[in-house]
Amino acid sequence: MTSQNSPYPVVNAFNEWDPLEEIIVGVADGAMIPPWDIEMEATVHRPELWQFYRRHGGTPWPPEMVVKAERDLEEFAHILEAEGVTVRRPTPYDFSKPYSTPDFSIASSCYALMPRDVLLAIGDEIIEAPMGWRSRCHELHAYKDLCKEYFRRGARWVSGPRPQLSEKSYNAGYVAPREGEPMRTVLTEWEPLLDAADVIKCGRDLFVAQSSCCNRFGIEWLQRHVGDRFRVHEVEVYDTHPMHIDATFYPLAPGKLLINPERVRKVPQMFIKAGWDILVCPQPEMPASHPLYNCSPWIMMNVLMLDEKRVIVSKGEDRFIRALQGWGFEPIPCAFWDFTTIGGGLHCASVDIRRRGGKQSYF
């Protein structure tokens, strides 16, 4: 079954750049400060923030921060709608409730700020990711109404193997590597774990990086699940606190791969062989004084493509905006630093559901 007013299936997502028709954008309302747990230390870059999470995790973000984040989301949604994109929002959900399973207890859920982490839309299918944080295992409830609707309208819909997230999932006594030390992550290989944002799409090829919320078992599960429909490639990255691929390695358009110069040390040979331009991201410009609780300033790489040329990018990143223009893109700046304070970037805050195009190989 196709979508209303579109010849394409309701879920149709093969890459990051075909013309965008429909997208889910997160909401800040009800956002909780992620409760402290072993994986926070493994994914939050600045050690001075760990104490903040230990003390405040599991309580709501202050209302004034939520209001400012919501303002950025509204500007983002407004830009998308003005460009003719259908914007969908999650269902309000109470993230404040503590919960327990036979294997763990946690003070609260997190938020519906970042649908990209939760739902993996590939081709005509939505995959609920088997996420690596205990505090995020019910977050997808905010998207269930949308998943049910997309399913009724013809999409395929599946949930990855529900993680148990017992102590066996995490390396006890884990200490994050210091800059320069060999890369490691907090996850064991005891069960498949994967956040949707650890994957980035490029037609027939999907690129995935191991992180402290994505293990090899999770990558193997994804490969077997998609079978011969897609080829899954693991990308080698270097990050002392790895979480999600989309501020590290990002195919923006056919033949154009954006890379983080600190995290990508070896571009996969297939891009070189196929003659892709390797676009080395310039240094971020966010002032060091800007509060940033959840990610690094490299979050500016986390843009959203409207099509092969037009790219929504965080306002204030002028050097990056000029670089994008030089590479042949048409940047559309959107104020987003206040969202970034408690969340991530424009790509994190959204998940594209339908783009106009089909499966191709770009290699």
Q: Does 209 bind ligand NVA (CB under 6 A)?
A: no
Residue nearest to ligand NVA (CB): 295
Q: Is 220 left (phi over 0), alpha (psi -120 to 50) or beta?
A: alpha
Give the active site residue among 244, 281, 338, 347. Answer: 244
Closer residue to ligand NVA (CB): 79 or 197: 197
Q: Does 213 bind ligand NVA (CB under 6 A)?
A: no
Give the active site residue among 147, 281, 295, 348. Answer: 348
Q: Does 298 bind ligand NVA (CB under 6 A)?
A: yes
Instruction: Give the total of residues touching ligand NVA (CB under 6 A).
Output: 12
Distance CA 86, CA 273 (A): 37
Q: Does 247 bind ligand NVA (CB under 6 A)?
A: yes
Closer residue to ligand NVA (CB): 10 or 279: 279
The pair of three-digit structure tokens given for residue 55, joined into one six-digit string: 């003390």
- 72 counts as catalytic: no
Are 315 and 335 in contact by the 8 Å Cβ rule? The answer is yes
Give the active site residue among 195, 239, 246, 338. Answer: 195
CA angle, 192 as apex, 34 and 40 as ends, to 5°? 20
- 214 counts as catalytic: no
Closer residue to ligand NVA (CB): 196 or 353: 196
**Of the candidate residues 3, 212, 302, 314, the single one contacting ligand NVA (CB under 6 A):** 302
**Of the candidate residues 202, 214, 299, 300, the single one contacting ligand NVA (CB under 6 A):** 299
Q: Which of helix, strand or coil describes residue 144?
A: helix
Q: Does 136 bind ligand NVA (CB under 6 A)?
A: no
**DSSP letter at 104?**
-
CA angle, 306 as apex, 304 and 307 as ends, to 5°? 120
- 239 counts as catalytic: no
User: Strand 125-128 relative to strand 156-159: parallel, antiparallel, unpaired?
Assistant: parallel
Largest CA distance in the chain: 54
What residues contact 13, with CB distance under 8 A and at least 6 apart?
121, 122, 123, 201, 352, 353, 354, 355
Question: What does the per-residue mask of binding to ligand NVA show for 41-80, with x meaning CB under 6 A?
Answer: ----x-----------------------------------
Contact window for ligand NVA (CB under 6 A) among 18-26, 154-162, 292-300, 352-360: 292-300
- Order of strands, sheet of 231-234, starting from the edge strand that comes earlier in the sequence: 199-202, 205-208, 231-234
Q: Does 135 bind ligand NVA (CB under 6 A)?
A: no
Does an H or E element contain 156, and which?
strand 156-159
Distance CA 243, CA 179 (A): 16
**Of the candidate residues 25, 131, 295, 300, the single one contacting ligand NVA (CB under 6 A):** 295
Q: Does 344 bind ligand NVA (CB under 6 A)?
A: yes
> What is the per-residue burial (b if ≥16 Cβ within 10 Å, else e) of 310-348?
bbbbbbbbeebbebbeeeebebbbbebbbbbbbbbbbbb
Q: Does 264 bind ligand NVA (CB under 6 A)?
A: no
**Of the candidate residues 135, 185, 296, 350, the single one contacting ligand NVA (CB under 6 A):** 296
Closer residue to ligand NVA (CB): 117 or 124: 117
Residues catalogued as catalytic: 195, 244, 348
For ligand NVA, the binding residues (CB under 6 A) are 45, 243-244, 246-247, 295-296, 298-299, 302, 344, 348
